[in-house]
Chains A and B, each alone.
Chain A
Amino acid sequence: MDEAHDRAAAHDHVDIDRHVRAALFVFLALLVLTGFTVAAWTLHLPTRSAITLALLIAVVKGSLVAGWFMHLVSERRLIYWVLALTAAFFVPLLLIPVLTSSSALHR
C-alpha cells in the first residue's frame, strides 16, 4: 500500500514538473509576444492591418494563458461545454455591433 502510494506520489511529481516546465515556456512566449505587439505598434500600420495583427497576437497570448495556465488543454468535458455555451453568447455579442455598423455603412 505504502509502495503504491509512493509510486503515485512520484508520478504526480513528474506530472507537475512537466506542467511547471510548460508554464515557464508559456511565460517566455507571452513575453516575446508582448514584444511583438509593441513592435507591431511602432510600425504604424494602416488601421485595419494594425487591428488584425494586434488582435491576432492577443488571441494567441490568450490561448496560451487559457490552455496552459488555466489547464484547459487537459480539462474535463463539462468545462468545455460551459465555455462553448459562453462562446455561443459571447461571439454574437461582439458581432452585433460590427455587423450593425457594416450595414449602416452600406445604407
Chain B
Amino acid sequence: MDIPYTVAARPDTGLNNGKIAIWLFLASEVMLFGALFASYVMLRVGAPEWPAGATYLNVPLATLNTVVLISSSVTMVLAWASLVKRNFSRFRLFLGITILCGLVFLVIKYFEYSAKFHHGYLPATNTFLAIYFTLTGLHGLHVIGGMAVNSWLWGPGSAMWRTDPAHFTNRVENAGLFWHLVDLVWIFLFPVLYLL
C-alpha cells in the first residue's frame, strides 16, 4: 500500500506530508534549544560574575567553524537544486561536500574540546562551561544526526532516484531543512557563547 501525499500536495494544506512533518519537528527543535537558551539567560543574569567567552574558548576556531557550517548550508541548497534540474552527479558532488563540511566542523570541535579537557576545563568547573558543553554538545549531536541522514541519502538511499525521483527530491529538501536549522542554531550559539 502506498503512503499518500509523499509527493503530491494535500488538497487541504497545499503541502505534502513530509514537508508538514519536518516543520513540526523543526518547531519542537526550536523549543528544545529555546529552553536551553532561556536557561543560559537565567544562569547568566543570576550569576554574580560571568566570564567573557574568549577567556575559555577559541574564537578563531569558532569563526572558522561558522564559515564551514555556512558553506555546508549553501552546498546543501546546491545539492537539492541539482536534483530539481535532474543532475544526479552534481547532487552527489554537492551533498558529498556538505557531509565533508559537517565532518570538518566536528574535527575542529574535537580539537576545541580536547584543548579544554587538557587545561582541566570540564562541565563541572563552573556554570559557564557547564552551559557551554551542554549547548555545543547537543548541537554537535544534531550535526552527527544530520550527517547520518545526508550520508544515507548520498549512498544507499539514493537508489530511490531511479524509481521515484520526485519523492527522493522531497526527502533531500527535508533533510536540507534540518541541516539549515543546525546552521541557524550555530549562528546564535557563536556570538552568545564565544563573543559575549
Contact = CB atoms under 8 A, between A and B. Distances in A.
Contacts of B24: 82
Interface in A6-57: 12-13, 16, 19-20, 23-24, 26-27, 30-31, 34, 37-38, 41, 47, 50-51, 54-55, 57
For chain A, what secondary structure do more than half of its interface residues adopt (helix, strand, loop), or is it mixed? helix
Nearest to B84: A16
A37 B31 contact: no
Interface in B18-39: 19-20, 23-24, 27, 30-31, 34-35, 37-39
A27 B41 contact: no
Contacts, number: 123
A23 B63 CA distance: 21
Interface in A48-107: 50-51, 54-55, 57-58, 61-62, 65-66, 69-70, 76-79, 82-83, 85-86, 89-90, 93-94, 96-98, 100-101
B31 A34 contact: no
Interface residues of A, number: 45
B45 A58 contact: no
B6 to A, nearest CB: 17
A72 B143 CA distance: 22
Interface in B64-85: 66-67, 70-71, 73-74, 76-78, 81, 84-85
Given A65-B180, A97-B42, A27 B70 contact: yes
Contacts of B37: 94
Contacts of A38: 59, 63, 195
Nearest to A30: B70
A33 B37 CA distance: 22
